[in-house]
Amino acid sequence: MTPLLSAGRARRALLAVVLCAGLTTGVTACGEDPDAGTNGIGKLTAQEIENKARVAADGATAVRLSGTLVSKGGTYKLNMRLKQDGGTGSVTSKENTFELLRIGDTLFLKADAGFWSHADGEDGEEPSGSDEEVADKLEDKYVKVPQGDPSYKQFRGFTDMDVLLDGLLGMQGELSKGDRTQVGGIRAIKVLAAKGEGGVLAVSLTGKPYPLQFTRAGGAGVLTLGDWDKDFELAEPSEDEMLDYGGQLPKTSGD
């Protein structure tokens, strides 16, 4: 005959079952390996995870980058698709939204009239008649940005995959491993710099260890990264959508 559990042992067994169910939150059961079915990077050190994420990003052919970026007191919303030979997407500030398209070294900028006419009022002046005339001409056209224009390098930076990733994904401080999480339904593990004050990077536990989300140091924005290695088409605008303004663009509210 199998002896029955005493009342005390039964209560302890029931408590263990309840605690196990509560702590796992449906992800893993007690005693199971949390890295089962993953790419295994959860077993590595924080520095090793960050290194592998950097190698994966450096070797990627394409990515979608979206989120907020706080710089020089302003907040910008980015929604860019990038690959090695170009990129396309939008940048939104408090005053304006403008679209960028780069194919090789050819860069196009598309914006509304307010962008071209300095309607943000930063200089304290109302737009002149000539400003408004230029703005009407350029509004909602893909304007070719001359490579000699002072704004070319600035705008191109938003479409350069390597430059943008290197500039935005910097960790500042000693690294440590954080909690496991999910980003867009994908399992990930966090790497914290300076206990999170120097940035928090969520790295995919599925497939290649791509960066999936990055919280920048000092409240400087949160960026989400996805569609890694998914190619997309870059095509020049049609002739009726495009305008070649000349050797240098007029000064804009984005300058």
Residue 121 pLDDT greater than 50, yes or no? no
The pLDDT, as a whole number, for residue 130 is 60
Name 64's bridge partners. Answer: 81, 226
User: Does the pLDDT value for residue 124 go beyond 80?
Assistant: no
Q: What's the residue count for the chain? A: 255
- Judge whether residue 191 has pLDDT over 80: yes
Average pLDDT along the chain: 83
Categorize the per-residue pLDDT at 118 as very low, low, confident or very high, splitting at 50, 70 and 90: low
pLDDT at 127: 46
Instruction: Report the pLDDT value the prediction gives residue 108, as an integer from 0 to 100.
Output: 95
Per-residue model confidence (pLDDT) at position 6: 53
Q: Which residue from 225, 251, 223 is spatially nearest to 68, judged by alpha carbons?
A: 223
What percent helix, strand, coil does the chain show, rounded to 5?
A: 30, 30, 40
Who's near 218: CB < 8 A, 6+ residues apart? 197
Instruction: Give, in degrees to the nearest 5, the angle at Cα 99 between 93 and 101.
Output: 140
pLDDT given at position 247? 58
> Does position 148 have pLDDT exceeding 70, yes or no?
yes
For residue 11, the model assigns a pLDDT of: 52
Q: 128 or 174, which is more confident?
A: 174
Is pLDDT above 60 for 5?
no
pLDDT of residue 38: 94
Q: What is the mean pLDDT of residues 104-112?
A: 93
Average the pLDDT over each of 4-13, 52-61, 86-95, 168-177 and give the range with the smallest value: 4-13
**113 confidence band (pLDDT: 50, 70, 90):** confident
Average pLDDT over residues 177-198: 96
Q: What is the pLDDT of residue 31?
A: 61
pLDDT at position 109: 94
Residue ranges of E strands in the chain = 62-71, 74-83, 86-92, 97-103, 106-111, 142-144, 175-183, 186-193, 200-204, 211-215, 222-226, 242-243
Q: How large is the average pLDDT for residues 163-176?
A: 92
- Secondary structure, 3-state, 81-135: EEECCEEEEEEECCCCEEEEEEECCEEEEEECHHHHCCCCCCCCCCCCHHHHHHH
pLDDT at 16 over 80: no
> For 24-28, 91-95, 129-133, 161-165, which range has the lowest pLDDT when averaged over its residues?
24-28
Mean pLDDT of 135-147: 85
Q: Give pLDDT, residue 9.
A: 57
Q: What does the pLDDT average to over 2-20?
A: 49
